[in-house]
Amino acid sequence: MKAEELKLIVKEKYGQIAEQCSDEKSCGCGSSCCGPGVDYTVFSENYDTKEGYNPEADLNLGCGIPTDYAGIKKGDHVLDLGSGAGNDCFVARSIVGDSGKVTGIDMTEPMIKKAKENCTRLGYTNIEFISGDIEAMPFDYNKFDVVISNCVLNLVPDKAKAFREIFRVLKRGGHFCVSDVVVKGNLSEKMKKDAEMYAGCVSGASEMNEYLKIISDSGFTEATVHKKKEIRLPDILLSEYNDHDEVNSYHSGERGIFSITVSARKAV
């Protein structure tokens, strides 16, 4: 599929999630919410103890908690890529305080609408949500102190372009911290080509070493993987996209799907 086709798939699927969850306090948006196929909650982690956490903004679509390792400070201007309903933005806002600012960018209009509604209800005046494409962000150079993202860059067709954009909008000496999905070994061709597996954060994932190379090639230094967790998809799902030997290669560790949280810095 072409890049624009992939983006349209993501827009439609995550727009559907936002709309179906609009009346829920905390909708899991897994297979029960979005129909048969990939359970979008399989990667998610528990935010319950995090300051600033708001259940209405948590659609359980992340694969880590990037704010845990992002080194955000009071007064920082933080950018959240693929901000969804605002979950990580509200956690980041609790750290930057009244003197800081948080900006969320998302290309899915129903998500932007839901995030703005959540923000209005919470009464925050130093958070903004912008509609835009991560591969071509509508921001000036050297604007943000910290960039975060949670299970979104795997959905971007051109990850090299996305990381170059992150580099561009970060201030000198700034840094990013993202949670994302990567793979070990090669995904089957059937899995790579499936739209549902793409929107479910699997088939668009890069091989881990390739992912880290994209980061370094984009100009970043001090890349650090803070956390790595294997994601085990159920055999019944793996069997839809893999033959018997391919399924066994996941069991043996030859292949694997992982969530990682990684940070890197833009030199001064």
Over pLDDT 70: what percentage of the chain?
Answer: 93
The residues pairing with 80 across neighbouring beta strands, listed in sequence order, are 104, 148
Quickly tell me which residue has 């800081």 as its tokens: 100
Quickly tell me which residue has 């069997």 as its tokens: 239
What confidence tens digit (pLDDT) does each residue in 228-259 have?
A: 999 988 899 899 999 999 999 999 999 999 99
Q: Which helix (H) or strand (E) holds 14?
A: helix 3-20
Long-range pairs of 27-32 with CB within 8 A, sequence gap ≥ 24? 27/59, 27/60, 28/59, 28/60, 29/59, 29/60, 29/61, 30/60
pLDDT, average across residues 35-46: 69
Q: Is the pTM of this model over 0.75?
A: yes
What confidence tens digit (pLDDT) does each residue in 131-159 have?
A: 999 999 999 999 999 999 999 999 999 99
Dihedral sign of CA atoms 75, 77, 78, 84 in order: positive
* Cα distance from N-terminal residue to C-terminal residue, the chain: 39
Q: Domains in the chain and their CATH numbers?
A: 3-265 (3.40.50.150)
Burial 249-266 (b: 16+ CB within 10 A, else e): bbeeeebbbbbbbbbbbb
Reply yes or no on whether the pLDDT at 7 is more than 90: yes
